[in-house]
A and B are shown apart, each in its own frame.
Chain A
Amino acid sequence: MTGKLSEKVLKGDTVATARVLRLIDDGLPEAREIMKKLYPHTGKAHIIGVTGAPGAGKSTLVTKLIGLYRRDNLKVGIIAVDPTSPFTGGAILGDRIRMQDHGTDPEVFIRSVATRGHLGGLSKSAWEMAKVLDAMGKDKIIVETVGVGQDEVEIIGLAHTSVVMLVPGLGDDIQAIKAGILEIADIFVVNKADRPETNRMVRDLEVLLEMAGLKEREWTPPIIKTIATRGKGIEEIREAIENHHEYLKRSGKLEEKIKAQREKELQNIIMEMLREKIFSRIDKEKMDKLIEDIASNHKDPYSIAEEILSSILN
């Protein structure tokens, strides 16, 4: 079963790929066996991250980019992340609404993903999902994060090129000086650029880049003004994304990035396997008793954790 699925993914089969993404998202054991087979076929796609505040225009930008890539006959995969309700565990995933122009194009694969409690702007599964779309033969993979605020920056680990979208008129200029998502941008997009505060925002960003010393680096993040709904400025973004990709390749930074990603992946996989191993060996009844002990203040959780780990690891 897993062998068949992975073969189909490598041939670009949509139904099989959709199922594999599901197995990954649900954390089922078959997923790992499939990933083993797919992994050697990954590493070819250019992964682009699109992040920004809710309503900044991320999905609209993504759909316009898909259009440009398809014009050049590139195959495109999209992972669009939306938040899971912390109260009910449910989610409404609505990024597809704005991507329906490409709803019947067989070379465009769009998958909506819920965060399922994962912080950082992505779902835990997004990393492996991007790998699967890579293995199925997509040239460009666009990962759209949830609407983020200031600190959800996990996308830089996953994407080769990160696009940060801003809109004029949200908060004062101090918001832009804070650490966080502004530091991760390879490309800035100031969307809804028909608003009056646009030029001031662009000037503020330029000053900020200068102060942060970003202008002296080899790659200075360009600031691109767009009106995404009207398609204005999208060509420039696409060009900036290509320029950045070229720069990464030329400078050796792409290799560095990929190496850092592999390291992170390996760490994650080890941690995940270790977690499973440990919890599968702890007896449920014993665990309940220990929790009772903690709850009644007879023992502290630190000592108990040390006991459990030393009994398992030795």
Chain B
Amino acid sequence: MGEEKVRILVAKPGLDGHDRGAKIIARALKEAGFEVIYTGLHQTPEQIVNAAIQEDVDAIGLSILSGAHNTLMPAIIKLLKERGIDDIVVFGGGIIPDDDIPFLKSQGVAAIFTPGTPISETIEWVKKNVKPRHKRK
């Protein structure tokens, strides 16, 4: 009698204190039927990766407004790899210049949603691209 749910960690790494965007995304994902683990502000990459592992999530959504995305996003992906995990989808949003997107993608970030992206677009992307990890292969 299985009921497979997609689980997503929504996290805010770094020092900026604005979590409205993260909360809006968390809520929209919930409305779309996902199980969202929300961890709050000021998370270190270590905390985020630990939470993702313990919660066995299928994706991590990162919200960064501080400008530190080029450091924080790759750091998280690197830590995941160090723990032997390469199948958690990492996506992000926030104030991220278009010029930085190719670099972030080359580091393994699956998608970046910049300001002005309709929430529905992000949700559709998640629906299409994130499946339960234990069912992939």
Point out residues on A near B: beta carbons under 8 Å.
14-15, 18-19, 21-23, 25-29, 84-85, 88-94, 96-97, 100, 103-104, 109-112, 114, 116, 272, 275-276
Contacts and interface: CB of A to CB of B under 8 A. Distances in A.
Q: B26, B29, B30 — which one has the most chain A CB atoms within 10 A of its CB?
A: B30
Given A26-B2, A28-B134, A88-B33, 6 more contacts: A18-B53, A26-B3, A92-B27, A96-B40, A100-B40, A104-B44
Nearest to B58: A22
A27 B55 contact: no
A256 to B, nearest CB: 31
B31 to A, nearest CB: 5
27 contacts: A18-B54, A21-B56, A22-B56, A22-B134, A28-B2, A28-B134, A29-B2, A88-B31, A89-B33, A90-B31, A90-B34, A90-B35, A91-B36, A93-B35, A93-B36, A94-B38, A94-B40, A96-B38, A97-B39, A100-B40, A103-B39, A103-B47, A103-B51, A110-B51, A110-B54, A275-B1, A276-B1
Interface of B: 1-5, 7, 26-27, 29-40, 43-44, 46-47, 50-51, 53-56, 83-85, 132, 134
A191 B39 CA distance: 23
Contacts, number: 102
Contact of A92 (B2, B38, B55): B38
Contacts of A103: 39, 43-44, 46-47, 50-51
A281 to B, nearest CB: 14
A104 B46 contact: yes
A85 B85 CA distance: 30
Q: B31, B44, B54, B85 — which one has the most chain A CB atoms within 10 A of its CB?
A: B54
